[in-house]
């Protein structure tokens, strides 16, 4: 018998975790959830009371180290967890103390689960430090998490905001991905097993039910875990897999946002019926990306659930604001993100760059606070249709009741809803343009910029109208040296649109129509007021009139580097003979983002599955690169597609991209 499993399931014992013998005795409704998630602090909270009071000074008989036992952090049916201080170093631990009388098969205490946990080392996994035993007890020293668990936070807060959920889920996914890479299944993911340290960092803990990942045919069929978080395949005794942890993660996300598990009912039998049928409700109060992600994780068929990488690339994370850190006050109070759309430090520093004195900065934040209260979705990166030019400031932000969430249905990866005929209206949400005309439409149609767009549109239309029908893409595999957008962020509600190219050049098309690039050396700045008009200067010695924009450019660069992941596997190949790339125009519709560059490079990113279409010209030949939902890229000559055709998956995206290009001024 493995020690931690024995700790979790003592002879004749039960508790919040469920195994076949105890499942039928579990309480229902709110009381069951409290047992499952509101048990005391940390991994540290197992089920039991030591038979006798533990000495205040405890000595490790092997090393001679002495520890001072402090306050109780948690207790259960057969063990207690204490704050415990090393008297030599003053380091504080969370010490789980288990009496020998509560442990079955003591000759196996040092095996299995203790060995499993002690080998783990990750920022988002509770650290195992040491264990020892004396005549009365076993002592397990763990990382001390002073902010208690997510169960305690949710008990105080009732529900969490979307930015908080993204903050915590990113860390859970990071820790869980590490476990799965070590071929370890947690098997008991729930709020009570996510612990928060002094710095508001989340740690996965409680490995009492953790197990090695086994091949499907050798998986254990035992029903174990917490009732509200069990997956259909576990209830059907098909065994635990990585997909079972993903299911539990979906339950966790649902609970964070709504304050209750998705399958909670008044009795356990009905709960299990709902789980087996994957039957639950998604309230209208949830935004579409959150609904879509929850629905994908709670797919009845394990094979339909997303991987951890797919989860973190979902629109819920990529299009929404995620704070870099949370204040400790978030443990009991709703955070105020209104001053930080989308990143508190970003906007504080940007405001400091734009406004000189403290009074101006205070007035700026007061204004933003007032506007934020008028718009409950200020940290959502969706805005009304807006046109900008160099001589015309962007119009004041206004709400458009017809703007719908980007995703309204659950869409299978790799499948784009059927595209309307070319020329049909595409609903644009926001745009930005480089130029010096009084009208963006005028500028695009009558200038060199318009000719760049028209050339790309003519080539793409000619290919689509003349290529034959096909079921698959050509087998052509090319290696091309071109730049493409690997990361982007839309802060046009304040400053503009930022992006990072594959050579690590960072560009910002500001709301006033000016463009600024920070080259890969992070020292050189290129400034474009109009197409083809470039000023070059050092970032450290920027002209006075550009200091504010250079400062903001640096913040964009830092934010994307620290918070966003690359969008594909294309190698970064730079042809130094080609001109520097800079953005002429970007547009966001309800389904995709379009970007058009000075050399005719044209890129469209689709939100729902993160596929991308990139068209560029090399040596007077047009190439099309398609990056699929797995971030795998393939490059074709357009002439090859013209002769051989392509899959419907790619064709639909090409058609939609052309529609965006044709209607860029509508």
- Active-site residue numbers? 188
Enter the tokens of residue 316.
């819920």
d(CA 592, CA 611) in angstroms, rounded, equals 10
Binding residue ranges for ATP:
105
- Phi and psi at 73, nearest 5°, equal -95, -30
**Cβ–Cβ under 8 Å, residues 602 and 615:** yes
602-606/612-618 β-pairing: antiparallel
Q: Is 186 left (phi over 0), alpha (psi -120 to 50) or beta?
A: alpha
d(CA 428, CA 523) in angstroms, rounded, equals 36
Spatial CA neighbour of 650 closest among 423, 483, 486, 414: 414
**Cβ–Cβ under 8 Å, residues 216 and 241:** yes
**Cβ–Cβ under 8 Å, residues 539 and 503:** no
Angle at 168 between CA 164 and CA 169, to 5 degrees: 110
Residue 142, classed as helix, strand or coil, is strand
**Cβ–Cβ under 8 Å, residues 391 and 276:** no
Q: Residues in the chain, how many?
A: 666
Enter the tokens of residue 395.
């119009």
* Dihedral sign computed on CA atoms, order 241, 9, 100, 39: positive
d(CA 552, CA 558) in angstroms, rounded, equals 10
Binding residue ranges:
105
Enter the tokens of residue 10.
């003592």
Enter the tokens of residue 102.
């509560």
Spatial CA neighbour of 653 closest among 602, 618, 617: 602
Spatial CA neighbour of 601 closest among 657, 556, 552, 551: 657
Range 613-616, long-range pairs (CB < 8 A, 24+ positions): 613/650, 613/653, 613/654, 613/657, 614/482, 614/484, 615/456, 615/459, 615/460, 615/657, 616/480, 616/482, 616/484
d(CA 411, CA 90) in angstroms, rounded, equals 54
Q: Is 627 left (phi over 0), alpha (psi -120 to 50) or beta?
A: beta
d(CA 428, CA 1) in angstroms, rounded, equals 62
- Phi and psi at 535, nearest 5°, equal -115, 135
Angle at 381 between CA 352 and CA 515, to 5 degrees: 60
- Phi and psi at 614, nearest 5°, equal -125, 125
Helix (H) or strand (E) holding 204: strand 202-204
- Phi and psi at 501, nearest 5°, equal -85, 170
Spatial CA neighbour of 464 closest among 252, 216, 659, 177: 659
d(CA 620, CA 598) in angstroms, rounded, equals 15
- Phi and psi at 112, nearest 5°, equal 50, -105
| Cross-strand partners of 194 | 204
621-627/633-637 β-pairing: antiparallel
């Amino acid at each position: 018998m493995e020690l931690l499993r024995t700790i979790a399931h003592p002879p004749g014992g039960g508790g919040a975790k469920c195994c076949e013998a105890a499942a039928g005795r579990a309480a229902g409704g709110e009381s069951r959830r409290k047992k499952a998630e509101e048990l005391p602090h940390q991994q540290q909270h197992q089920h039991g009371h030591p038979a006798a009071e533990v000495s205040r000074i405890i000595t490790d008989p092997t090393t001679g180290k002495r520890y001072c036992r402090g306050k109780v952090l948690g207790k259960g049916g057969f063990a207690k967890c204490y704050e415990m201080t090393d008297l030599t170093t003053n380091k504080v631990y969370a010490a789980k103390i288990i009496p020998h009388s509560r442990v079955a098969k003591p000759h196996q205490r040092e095996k299995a689960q203790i060995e499993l946990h002690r080998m783990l080392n990750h920022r988002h996994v509770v650290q195992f430090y040491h264990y020892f035993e004396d005549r009365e007890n076993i002592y397990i020293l763990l990382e001390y998490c002073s902010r208690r668990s997510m169960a305690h936070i949710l008990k105080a807060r009732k529900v969490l905001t979307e930015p908080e959920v993204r903050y915590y889920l990113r860390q859970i996914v990071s820790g869980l991905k590490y476990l799965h890479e070590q071929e370890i299944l947690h098997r008991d993911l729930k709020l009570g097993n996510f612990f928060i340290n002094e710095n508001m960092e989340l740690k996965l803990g409680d490995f009492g039910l953790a197990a090695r990942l086994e091949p499907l045919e050798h998986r254990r069929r035992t029903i174990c875990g917490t009732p509200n978080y069990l997956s259909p395949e576990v209830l059907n005794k098909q065994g635990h897999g990585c997909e079972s942890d993903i299911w539990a993660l979906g339950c966790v996300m649902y609970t964070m946002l709504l304050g209750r598990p998705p399958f909670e009912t008044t009795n356990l039998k009905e709960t299990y019926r709902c789980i087996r049928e994957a039957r639950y409700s998604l309230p209208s109060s949830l935004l579409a990306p959150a609904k879509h992600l929850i629905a994908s994780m709670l797919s009845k068929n394990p094979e339909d659930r997303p991987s951890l990488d797919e989860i973190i690339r979902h629109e819920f994370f990529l299009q929404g604001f995620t704070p870099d850190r949370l204040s400790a006050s978030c443990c009991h109070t709703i955070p105020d993100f209104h001053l930080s759309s989308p990143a508190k430090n970003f906007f504080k520093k940007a405001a400091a760059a734009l406004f000189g004195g403290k009074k101006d900065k205070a007035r700026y934040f007061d204004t933003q606070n007032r506007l934020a209260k008028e718009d409950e979705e200020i940290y959502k990166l969706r805005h009304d249709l807006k046109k900008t030019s160099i001589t015309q400031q962007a119009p004041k932000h206004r709400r458009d009741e017809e703007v719908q969430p980007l995703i309204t249905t659950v869409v299978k990866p790799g499948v784009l809803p059927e595209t309307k005929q070319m020329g049909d209206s595409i609903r644009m949400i926001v745009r930005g343009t480089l130029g010096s005309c009084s009208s963006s439409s005028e500028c695009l149609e009558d200038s060199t910029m318009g000719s760049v767009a028209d050339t790309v549109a003519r080539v793409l239309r000619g290919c689509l109208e003349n290529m034959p029908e096909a079921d698959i893409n050509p087998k052509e595999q090319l290696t091309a040296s071109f730049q493409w957008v690997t990361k982007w962020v839309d802060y046009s509600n304040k400053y503009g649109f930022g992006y990072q190219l594959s050579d690590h050049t960072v560009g910002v098309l500001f709301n006033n129509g000016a463009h600024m690039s920070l080259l890969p050396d992070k020292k050189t700045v290129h400034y474009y007021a109009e197409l083809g008009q470039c000023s070059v200067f050092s970032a450290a010695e920027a002209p006075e009139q550009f200091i504010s924009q250079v400062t903001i450019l640096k913040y964009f660069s830092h934010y994307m580097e620290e918070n966003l992941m690359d969008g594909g596997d294309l190698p970064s190949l730079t042809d130094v003979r080609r001109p520097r790339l800079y953005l002429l125009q970007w547009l966001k519709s309800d389904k995709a983002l379009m970007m058009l560059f000075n050399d005719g490079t044209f890129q469209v990113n689709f939100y729902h599955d993160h596929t991308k279409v990139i068209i560029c010209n090399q040596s007077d030949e047009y190439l099309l690169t398609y990056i699929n939902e797995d971030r795998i890229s393939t490059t074709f000559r357009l002439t090859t597609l013209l002769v051989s055709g392509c899959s419907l998956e790619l064709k639909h995206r090409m058609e939609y991209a052309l529609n965006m290009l044709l209607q860029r001024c509508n």
